[in-house]
Amino acid sequence: MRRKLRVLFAAYEAVPFMKTGGLGDVGGSLPQALKAAGCECRVIIPKFMTIPDEYKAKMTHVTDFYVSLGWRNVYCGIEKLTYKGVVYYFVDNEYYFNRERPYGYFDDGERIAYFSKAVVEALQYLPDFKCDVLHCNDWHTALAPVFLREFYQGLPLYENVKTVFSVHNLKFQGQMSDYVLGDVLGLWGIPAAASQLRCDERSINFMKGALLYSDILSTVSKTYAEEIKTPFFGERMDGIFRDRASVLYGVMNGIDTQSWDPATDPLIPHHYDLNDRSGKALCKAELQQELGLEVNPERPLVVMIGRLTEQKGMDLVQRVISEMLDRSVQIAVLGTGDKQYEDMLSYYAWERAGSCSACVRFDEALSHRMYAGADILLMPSLFEPCGLSQMIAMRYGTLPVVRETGGLKDSVKPYNQFTGEGTGFSFANYNAHEMLFTLMNACELFWTDKAAWSKLQDSAMAEDFSWDRAAKEYLSMYEMTHPEIEPWRKRKDGETTEEPVEETAEETAKETVEG
């Protein structure tokens, strides 16, 4: 049998409809890349009140039905919109989703459980789509594989559905009172489900259910997939990851290479590319002036962009920031976080004016200018499942200094002084002076060997961090769940040949591209 795999991508967020974090970027970008890579990928998310009206106006009603949730029988409508070639389904229930924000309510457990159950129930009501793979993401959809197996297995439509569960943020697992097990989930009378969802005598864990019930598990980098098998990184789930290591994969996220492109970025003052980086020097000079730093091309400008927390290595920075500034390094930080770090950076911005800048706020446009104008990005994370800042920085010719953990280790190739190869600099131990030593080695190269520095920039800017790369890895993962379907591409002698796969009239009849 040769046809496109049909994948339903279930997530709580997807750009441009809803975004509170990195999951929204994944939900907006990965399905488009998957469709381009050769599978029929559609997305299902809640119909939040905060979705812009311009998109709501284009939605069409597909169907409606009722979802059983414990003792409840709850309405569910399915709306549909095609955006940039990808079909998006929206789960409509005003009681659960017509609210000012997506999270932070007393009944979040019930709302999330409803969404997971609605996703599974909807599979039988989508008239032009028969799902092969249900790809669930984070704890918001973690119950879908549980419901699928416990309530729907044995029904002909569902026999073919395999599940993939991706962990994006292991810290948030959806721990709820044991009361939810029966009252909301309706699983109290199923001992196997109850035992696998429980994390102690009085609480259950939504994500634990997905980790045990899904056919394949994935996370957002190969190194992190190994790290979460250990107690330090595993957030009490390490035993499960070790037990299921044979079906655990790491696929590094991509970035939007159109939005993050120094050759076309409308938010930076001067454009440049791999062949001509003269605009980068102009961006640096204007950024130094904007931030109140000494305008000096020979002073390496080090930036940090993101949350100011211990997880991002801010305690290391706090320990040695004075030593950094004593060595003619300029430091510029953009972000918000823990008050102790905000206050520390504000103090040094005052005490070391001209050498240190602290922008304690969220500013998307300024982040673009900082990526373009900086020489070095400092990212000494305690742990980092994937990380996007280091990929964006490399695309702008800003070399990263990172700790070798998670996606940072996978995406940054450390500089080799003997061969000149690399895309940045890295250190292994979570130690402030090891970080400082690595940073100063980078600055030494910046000062003394412009040719080597330029070669590193060339290599960094040439790296492929597009979603196309990630999509091909996910597609290979999906294919493992359905060996009876011949892959859309045939591999011969290491080469890849692409053959068009005809869609049925039923699959294409209703697709119109909007946006």
180: in domain: no
Q: Are residues 107 and 79 in the same domain?
A: yes
Contact 254, 468 (CB under 8 A): yes
Q: What tokens does 161 get?
A: 């559905």
Q: Are residues 311 and 359 in the same domain?
A: yes
Q: Are residues 125 and 141 in the same domain?
A: yes
Low pLDDT (below 70) residues in the chain: 1, 488-515
- Structure confidence at residue 200 (pLDDT): 87
Q: Are residues 210 and 143 in the same domain?
A: yes
- Structure confidence at residue 489 (pLDDT): 59
What count of other Cβ atoms lies within 10 Å of the Cβ of residue 368?
Answer: 22
In three-state form (DSSP H/G/I as H, E/B as E, the rest C), the secondary structure along 380-394 is: CCCCCCCCCHHHHHH
Contact 166, 10 (CB under 8 A): no
* Omega cis (within 30) before 52: no
Contact 227, 406 (CB under 8 A): yes
Question: What Cα–Cα distance (Å) separates residue 289 from each residue in 108, 348, 366?
Answer: 46, 18, 13
Interval 150-170: pLDDT, tens: 999 889 999 999 999 999 989
Nearest 5 degrees, angle CA 196-CA 200-CA 202? 110
Distance CA 160, CA 486 (A): 15
Q: Are residues 49 and 69 in the same domain?
A: yes
Q: Are residues 380 and 501 in the same domain?
A: no
Domain total for the chain? Answer: 2
Q: Are residues 321 and 398 in the same domain?
A: yes
Helix (H) or strand (E) holding 199: strand 198-200
pTM for this predicted structure? 0.89
10: in domain: yes
431: in domain: yes
Amino acid residing at 326: D
493: in domain: yes
Q: Which residue's structure tokens are 């993050």?
A: 260
184: in domain: no
Distance CA 210, CA 168 (A): 13
189: in domain: no
Segments forming the whole domain that contains residue 43: 6-174+205-254+467-508
DSSP state of 151: I
- Structure confidence at residue 99 (pLDDT): 94
- Structure confidence at residue 492 (pLDDT): 40
**Cβ-based neighbours of 382, under 8 Å, separated by 6 or more:** 310, 311, 312, 313, 403, 405, 430
- Structure confidence at residue 499 (pLDDT): 44
Percent share of the chain, pLDDT over 90: 88
Q: What tokens does 309 get?
A: 């927390």
Question: What Cα–Cα distance (Å) separates residue 288 from each residue in 228, 264, 336?
Answer: 40, 22, 21
What are the helix (H) ranges across 219-375? Answer: 222-227, 231-234, 238-243, 278-290, 314-325, 339-351, 364-373
- Structure confidence at residue 488 (pLDDT): 61
Q: Are residues 33 and 150 in the same domain?
A: yes
Interval 104-113: pLDDT, tens: 899 999 999 9
**CATH number of the domain encompassing residue 107:** 3.40.50.2000
- Structure confidence at residue 493 (pLDDT): 39
Contact 294, 284 (CB under 8 A): no
- Structure confidence at residue 315 (pLDDT): 97
